[in-house]
């Protein structure tokens, strides 16, 4: 359990500081489990030989895909959860191209080459706050660990998960163990029909929230951010910019902030929308 | 014990393995993975006289066995480097080079002059070959008169090791190499990135905000090796070879083609420990081939 | 029904998919795998005035996402082509181009003159960009005056479609493109191979008998796309794009960058049926994107 | 069973003619068996859906290795044997680099993409002739099918197989079913110690032979060829030149013959040493 909650928001500076002193490593982990949850998604458990370093919600790993003729660069993947007792990192993988398909094919006993843990973290509000966690598609990945850590730190989380249809919706058990889960599907096959922003949680009920976190497709995050901004509620987004190095060395992954270009891989992937330009 | 030290025209490196500008940050980014002091040298990020925000996102596209970048020399300017970064990295026990870029000769000169004052920076790499900014760099490096003009101007004010980085986007790299050597370069590094382009067919859009960008990685290795070989046969100053080096074998190929030292760029993104593996692999090769001095590899290609 | 036919300055091809010279033999080699008549066009082997044995073995090296070749224009000469090969292939219902190479302007002219007489050859591709023979080709293609001289000389005797194939081994491809257009080319094809080199580190020897050779395959695609885009923005004649095309997606990228037709080279070695798959894939893309005429793709890159 | 023997040597012309009219195809075959025979070698069976075309001894297949980041081109592999009733092509693979290692990893049910059958063929001498088949290392591959077809055509074959040591020597059963097998190993761990050219079959006994076939490392083939030439015995070698296309289109695989450059992939891989320059 991470005690991130000092009763106040951690400032970006504090978080960067803590990342700066946290050390990253490159390691061959061992796949201990690969479970397909539907046509598009698998959940992979990868165990480290060593004790896991501290991992903060919103952080990611960068995976070298073996034997891919067209996967020259590493693939960044959010940390979905960790199992500290087994030293396992748990990943939610959506198959979209060659790299993610090859990762999704890994089976028990296979090695998986990762650089981790990377990136900053979502901020944890004061105890007693209410937090809305909005995930769309594979963007739900960092929400699970975030929800757990919020709860551990005395914050009340609410999940709002969107999907195209119930066939590719996540299994909800793990989320339900932590908090209430609301669902929207574009075809109405489960939960409320429409986008996440059509849900009461993003409308009437939004006022109750002290903070909104979101990760998912860009248009979704922008729509969520617009609603939060409108109600003047703090909102953090997790961006999925293209990355080459993942460790702040190449400056490829920049996002336009009010203080100029910042690296999504080290100064993000989590940003407060008030710091972003054109959000 | 094998000798790994190489001499770049009076400047000694403990081994021939350096890192390439723009791919290794200021070294600090890799401290978690390797001991920077184990490297022959590092070339830090492209530095300009003034702060530059670089190009808009997207700046990167993956390509077959390589990548395009269009970072566009994002950096906080030479004064920030001197005040904020230099103090943090000057303790590295490795050859630290600053990659100096600019859009006008006066900018190059002013930047080099400032860096000349830094005790623990034994050399600069003059970047006259960056393809990613309209005004900057590449235009100088693809024609002899401008390449000579900027080299001569910097040579006048810069008293330490002056390495000049050549562009591969030219008809005859030996012409530029000879001209730059004549203008006072202490060594030549090559290649910078090849000008390339990627398109997203589904979106019908260029993959980079700047449409074109710089190609690096193993895909460029055959072109880079050829240019190192050509330049080696045309000039006397030492050559620092790069372009797609992923492992010790690649590094040795560059040395056989004539490189006295090599730089590793894009490969750092794939494996942040690649530099150390390359140093170890070179030692291993030397053992297997009974070579005691790494300098014996330089230009050692057997062509009958 | 979508329209796949393209017009190359008056010469109509049934679709934009051609094969690249030196990679498709005379078409016959692929008859077991595809119906040659399904192709938009084929460019047969580099043909010279006289018989040439080509370079010594080894002539090939595999490289990351590509290959180097140093075939060196091995062919039996234009007279043999006319007497022995032409009769065997002239029935192909596709646009047959002869790739004409030479080491002197008179050779190019004499070869082109002979081919001008062949009824079923609607065009030649003037190869002024072969990097694999000392005297031949590339030297012409990398400088404007010589490129203009050879194009003008051939233009005088050659009455049908004159396609000129450009070298990527130049500082500014648009300069050469404009010069060659001015000299009378009906279309421009690009790119020929990039000059590269490979080394066998264990043997300390070059991998090719000629030390350097021509690089092709997906590794060159970013450079090829960039050059097609640059040339498209510089000339009016149609462009035939190539360099690393492996699938329909790649072909569409070239068309979006400005190519009216494309050529497939090295990919034929990997999949001898790739050409047909590319034609089918282009159709599929057009359906998905609601495009009825393949010509609408040409230069259709959205750059705001 | 192929009836190649017309009682006389087939001329090169006849063979080329027969190849020219034979059609090649590119096909996804299915691996039906992969058996490791020692540290370096595996034997792979690959079944075609269709009836196999006629396959001649000395011919090869050209394999596209899937998922190899450094295996852009196809890999040429000799046809070791065929099982006509099962429509299987049998290959002997030596693991030397990434491509052969990936092929050696294929398991039952995997697809294998081949262009085949490629190349010319060894010539079959008159009935009653004696033939020496000298294979070194993986060069034994085409000797098995050649031995069988020679025997089927009334020729008496003798195998002479060389290896560095007995650990990487082939299993001899299949060869022994066809003919006498002699062995040399460089370390003397089996058979006669030394190179194939140190064996009596390549010395005193060579005079009995009407023809010598050889495939293996270049220095071995040259040594064998020199001995055969010296005794004026017809000798055919199977060359392993680097290939890009495998079908005569690229002109990369040439060998220097007395009539100029010839393609190893279509006019070879089998050549009579009398036609080769500097042999
Ligand atoms: C911080 C971060 C966290 C992420 N977390 C997850 C996660 O938890 N689970 C998950 O399945 N995916 C996640 N992604 C996205 C994942 O990295 C890409 O889907 C993956 O790299 C695609 O690789 P591919 O080879 O399968 O697809 P490709 O064939 O390379 O591309 C398919 C699509 O993915 C996009 N893409 C390719 N490379 C990247 C990249 N480096 N970054 C972002 N998008 C890319 C392409 O633009 C294309 O639209 C994350 C991305 C980032 C930046
Ligand atoms: C006609 C012919 C028949 C062959 N038959 C067999 C066979 O039955 N069994 C078998 O195991 N091998 C055979 N080979 C050799 C086989 O093609 C190579 O070992 C294989 O291509 C090496 O690929 P790789 O990726 O494993 O090794 P690489 O890492 O590519 O190279 C390892 C070594 O193999 C050599 N090599 C690489 N590519 C080729 C190539 N295309 N042709 C020849 N040598 C190459 C390289 O020079 C290097 O020394 C044959 C080759 C030819 C030309
Ligand atoms: C992301 C990125 C940024 C780069 N920035 C610079 C730079 O600022 N200055 C420079 O001279 N070269 C720069 N380069 C070029 C590299 O230093 C090197 O010349 C090139 O990448 C070829 O080497 P490689 O294939 O090993 O990467 C950059 C390359 C990359 C990939
Ligand atoms: C083996 C080989 C032989 C070639 N021979 C010729 C030639 O004779 N004339 C020519 O103009 N181009 C020749 N080329 C270049 C190709 O036509 C083409 O321009 C180049 O390979 C790039 O396309 P690709 O990447 O699709 O192969 C040859 C290429 C290869 C690989
Ligand atoms: S991915 Fe390299 S700096 Fe972020
Ligand atoms: S490999 Fe292409 S002609 Fe033989």
Would you say C292 is a known binding-site residue? no
What's the gap in Å between D76 CA and the centre of ligand 2?
A: 7
Output the tens digit of pLDDT for each of chain A's 279 residues.
Answer: 344 433 344 444 444 444 444 699 999 999 999 999 999 999 999 999 999 999 999 999 999 998 778 899 999 999 999 999 999 999 999 999 999 999 999 999 999 999 999 999 999 999 999 999 999 999 999 999 999 999 999 999 999 999 999 888 888 889 999 999 999 999 989 999 999 999 989 999 999 999 999 999 999 999 999 999 999 999 999 999 999 999 999 999 999 999 999 999 999 999 999 999 988
Instruction: Give tens-digit pLDDT for B165-214.
Output: 999 999 999 999 999 999 999 999 999 999 999 999 999 999 999 999 99
Instruction: Give tens-digit pLDDT for A45-98.
Output: 999 999 999 999 999 999 999 877 889 999 999 999 999 999 999 999 999 999
ipTM: 0.94
Residue D265: closest C-alpha in chain C: C29
Structure tokens, B243: 């372009």
What's the gap in Å between D251 CA and the centre of ligand 6?
A: 5
* Closest approach of C88 to chain B, Cα-based (Å): 38
Tell if the CB–CB gap between A73 and B269 is shorter than 8 Å. yes
Q: How far, in Å, CA of B54 to CA of B70, rounded?
A: 8
Tell if the CB–CB gap between B219 and C257 is shorter than 8 Å. no
pLDDT for B255 equals 98
Would you say C71 is a known binding-site residue? yes
Q: Is D169 in the pocket of ligand 6 (CB under 6 A)?
A: no
* Res. D3 pLDDT band, cuts 50 70 90: very low
Structure tokens, A52: 């896991």
How many other C-beta atoms are found inside a 10 Å radius of the C-beta of residue B88?
A: 11
Q: At A225, which helix (H) or strand (E)?
A: helix A218-230
CA B127 to ligand 3: nearest atom: 11
Tell if the CB–CB gap between B206 and C303 is shorter than 8 Å. yes
Greatest Cα-to-Cα distance within chain C, rounded to the nearest angstrom: 57
Helices and strands, counts by H and E, chain C: 10, 16
Coil, helix or strand for C176?
A: helix
Tell if the CB–CB gap between C244 and B300 is shorter than 8 Å. no
* Closest approach of C68 to chain D, Cα-based (Å): 10
The closest alpha carbon to B47, from B16, B31, B71, belongs to B71
Contact A135, A17 (CB under 8 A): no
| Facing C57 at nearest CB: one of D64, D72, D254 | D254
Catalytic residues of B: 130
What residues in D contact C61, CB-CB < 8 Å?
Answer: 242
Structure tokens, C167: 């070298």
CA C217 to ligand 4: nearest atom: 25
pLDDT for A19 equals 43
CB contact A109 to D (< 8 Å): no
The answer for residues whose C-beta is within 8 angstroms of residue B67's C-beta and 6 or more apart is A72, A73, A244, B60, B61, B215, B216, B217, B266, B269
Provide the H-helix boundaries in chain D.
12-21, 98-104, 141-152, 173-176, 218-230
Indicate the range of B92-101, D6-15, D154-163 predicted with least confidence: D6-15
pLDDT for B289 equals 97
Q: At C221, which helix (H) or strand (E)?
A: helix C221-232
Q: How far, in Å, CA of A106 to CA of A125, rounded?
A: 37
CA C165 to ligand 4: nearest atom: 11
Instruction: Give tens-digit pLDDT for B242-266.
Output: 999 999 999 999 999 999 999 999 9
Instruction: Give tens-digit pLDDT for B132-146.
Output: 655 545 678 899 999
Q: How far, in Å, CA of A215 to CA of A237, rounded?
A: 6
The answer for residues whose C-beta is within 8 angstroms of residue A233's C-beta and 6 or more apart is A206, A209, A210, A211, A212
pLDDT for B242 equals 98
Tell if the CB–CB gap between D254 and C65 is shorter than 8 Å. no
Q: Is A239 in the pocket of ligand 5 (CB under 6 A)?
A: no
* Closest approach of B208 to chain A, Cα-based (Å): 11
CB contact A260 to D (< 8 Å): no
The string of DSSP codes covering chain B is: --B--EEETTEEESSSEEE-TTSSTTSGGGTTTS-GGGSSEEEEEEE-SS-B--PPSP-EEEETTEEEE-----B--HHHIIIIIHHHHTT-SSEEEEEE--SSHHHHHHHHHHHHT-TT--EEEEE---TTSSSSSHHHHTSHHHHHHHHHHHHHH--SEEEEEPPS-SS-HHHHHHHHHHTT-SEEEE--PEEEE-EETTTTEESSTTSEEEEESGGGHHHHHHHHHHHHTT-SS-EEE-SS--SHHHHHHHHHHT-SEEEE-THHHH-TTHHHHHHHHHHHHHHHTT-SBGGGGTT-----
* Closest approach of B87 to chain C, Cα-based (Å): 40
Neighbours of chain D (3+ CB pairs under 8 A): A, C
Q: Is B45 in the pocket of ligand 3 (CB under 6 A)?
A: yes
CATH class of C6-46+74-195+218-297: alpha beta
Structure tokens, B34: 């390797």
Q: How far, in Å, CA of C123 to CA of C119, rounded?
A: 10
| Facing B198 at nearest CB: one of C143, C169, C225 | C225
Annotated binding site of B for substrate: 45, 69-73, 127, 192-193
Tell if the CB–CB gap between C53 and D260 is shorter than 8 Å. yes
- Is pLDDT at B161 greater than 60 in this prediction? yes
CB contact B253 to C (< 8 Å): yes
What's the gap in Å between A257 CA and the centre of ligand 5?
A: 16
Tell if the CB–CB gap between C201 and B252 is shorter than 8 Å. yes
Tell if the CB–CB gap between D245 and C268 is shorter than 8 Å. yes
C36, C115, C130, C294: which one is catalytic? C130
Tell if the CB–CB gap between B66 and A248 is shorter than 8 Å. no
What residues in D contact C210, CB-CB < 8 Å?
Answer: none
What residues in C contact D241, CB-CB < 8 Å?
Answer: 57-58
Tell if the CB–CB gap between B226 and C195 is shorter than 8 Å. yes
- Angstrom distances, CA of residue B268 to CA of A240, A247, B28, B265, D188: 21, 10, 13, 6, 48
pLDDT for B213 equals 96
Pocket test for ligand 2, best of C57, C58, C61, C62 (most atoms within 8 A of CB): C62
Ligand number nearest CA of C99 is 4
What's the gap in Å between B22 CA and the centre of ligand 3?
A: 5
A130-238 folds as Rossmann fold (3.40.50)
What's the gap in Å between A266 CA and the centre of ligand 5?
A: 7
What residues in D contact C217, CB-CB < 8 Å?
Answer: 72
Contact D99, D93 (CB under 8 A): no
* Closest approach of A38 to chain B, Cα-based (Å): 26
- Is pLDDT at C272 greater than 90 in this prediction? yes
CB contact D217 to A (< 8 Å): no
Contacts of A175-178 with C-beta under 8 Å, sequence gap 24+, read A175/A143, A175/A144, A175/A147, A178/A144, A178/A147, A178/A148, A178/A151
CB contact A68 to D (< 8 Å): yes
Instruction: Give tens-digit pLDDT for A48-60.
Output: 999 999 999 999 9
Q: How far, in Å, CA of D84 to CA of D80, rounded?
A: 13
Indicate the range of C10-19, C224-233, D159-168 predicted with least confidence: D159-168
**Pairs of residues, one from chain C and one from chain D, whose beta carbons lie less than 8 Å apart:** 92
* Boundaries of every domain in chain C: 6-46+74-195+218-297
* Boundaries of every domain in chain D: 3-118, 130-238
- Is pLDDT at B27 greater than 50 in this prediction? yes
Distance from chain centroid for Cα A120: 11
Q: How far, in Å, CA of A174 to CA of D98, rounded?
A: 42
What residues in A contact D73, CB-CB < 8 Å?
Answer: none
Q: Is D270 in the pocket of ligand 6 (CB under 6 A)?
A: no
Residue B69: closest C-alpha in chain C: C222
Would you say C191 is a known binding-site residue? yes
We find that the CATH architecture of domain D3-118 is Beta Barrel (2.40)
* Closest approach of B199 to chain C, Cα-based (Å): 6
What's the gap in Å between A242 CA and the centre of ligand 5?
A: 8
CA B60 to ligand 5: nearest atom: 1
| Facing A250 at nearest CB: one of B22, B217, B273 | B22
Q: Can C130 be counted among the known catalytic residues?
A: yes
């Amino acid at each position: 359990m991470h005690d991130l909650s000092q009763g106040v928001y951690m400032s970006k500076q504090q978080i960067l500081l803590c990342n700066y002193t946290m050390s990253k490593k490159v390691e061959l982990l061992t796949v201990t489990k690969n479970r397909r949850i539907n046509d598009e998604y698998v959940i992979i458990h990868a165990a480290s030989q060593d004790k896991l370093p501290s991992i903060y919600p919103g952080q990611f790993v960068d995976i070298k895909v073996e034997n891919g003729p067209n996967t020259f660069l590493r693939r960044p993947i959010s940390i979905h959860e960790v199992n500290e007792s087994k030293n396992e990192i748990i990943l939610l993988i959506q198959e979209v191209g060659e790299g993610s398909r090859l990762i999704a094919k890994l089976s028990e006993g296979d090695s998986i080459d990762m650089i981790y843990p990377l990136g900053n973290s979502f901020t944890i509000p004061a105890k007693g706050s209410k937090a809305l966690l909005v995930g769309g598609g594979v963007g739900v990945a960092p929400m699970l660990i975030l929800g757990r850590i919020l709860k551990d730190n005395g914050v009340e989380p609410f999940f709002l998960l969107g999907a195209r249809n119930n066939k590719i919706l996540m299994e909800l058990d793990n989320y339900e163990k932590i908090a209430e889960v609301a669902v929207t599907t574009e075809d109405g096959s489960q939960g409320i029909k429409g986008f996440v922003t059509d849900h009461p949680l993003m409308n009437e009920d939004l006022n109750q929230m002290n903070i909104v976190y979101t990760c998912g497709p860009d248009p979704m995050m922008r729509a969520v951010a617009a609603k939060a901004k409108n109600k003047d509620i703090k909102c953090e987004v997790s961006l999925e910019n293209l990355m080459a190095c993942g460790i702040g060395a190449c400056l490829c992954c920049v996002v336009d902030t009010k203080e100029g270009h910042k690296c999504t891989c080290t100064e993000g992937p989590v940003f407060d929308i008030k710091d972003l330009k054109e959000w | 014990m094998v000798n790994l030290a190489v001499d770049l025209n009076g400047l000694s490196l403990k081994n021939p393995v350096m890192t390439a500008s723009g791919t290794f940050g200021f070294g600090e980014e890799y401290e978690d993975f390797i001991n920077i002091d184990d490297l022959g040298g590092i070339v830090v990020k492209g530095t300009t006289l003034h702060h530059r925000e670089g190009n808009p996102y997207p700046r990167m596209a993956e390509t077959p066995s390589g990548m395009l970048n269009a970072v566009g020399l994002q950096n906080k300017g030479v004064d920030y480097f001197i005040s904020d970064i230099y103090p943090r990295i000057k303790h590295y026990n490795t050859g630290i080079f600053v990659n100096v870029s600019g859009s006008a000769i006066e900018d190059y000169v002013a930047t080099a002059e400032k860096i000349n004052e830094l005790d623990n920076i034994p050399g600069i790499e003059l970047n006259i070959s960056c393809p990613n900014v309209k005004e900057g760099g590449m235009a100088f490096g693809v024609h002899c008169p401008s390449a000579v003009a900027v080299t001569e101007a910097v040579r006048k004010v810069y008293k330490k090791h002056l390495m000049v980085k050549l562009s591969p986007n030219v008809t005859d790299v030996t012409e530029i190499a000879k001209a730059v050597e004549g203008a006072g370069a202490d060594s030549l590094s090559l290649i910078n990135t090849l000008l390339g382009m990627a398109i997203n067919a589904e979106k019908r859009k260029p993959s980079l905000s700047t449409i074109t960008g710089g190609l690096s990685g193993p895909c460029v290795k055959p072109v880079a090796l050829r240019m190192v070989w050509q330049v080696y046969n045309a000039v006397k100053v030492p050559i620092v070879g790069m372009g797609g080096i992923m492992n010790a074998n690649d590094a040795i190929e560059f040395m056989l083609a004539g490189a006295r030292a090599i730089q590793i760029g894009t490969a750092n993104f794939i494996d942040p420990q690649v530099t150390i593996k390359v140093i170890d692999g070179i030692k291993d090769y030397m053992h297997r081939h009974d070579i005691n001095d790494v300098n014996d590899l330089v230009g050692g290609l057997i062509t009958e």
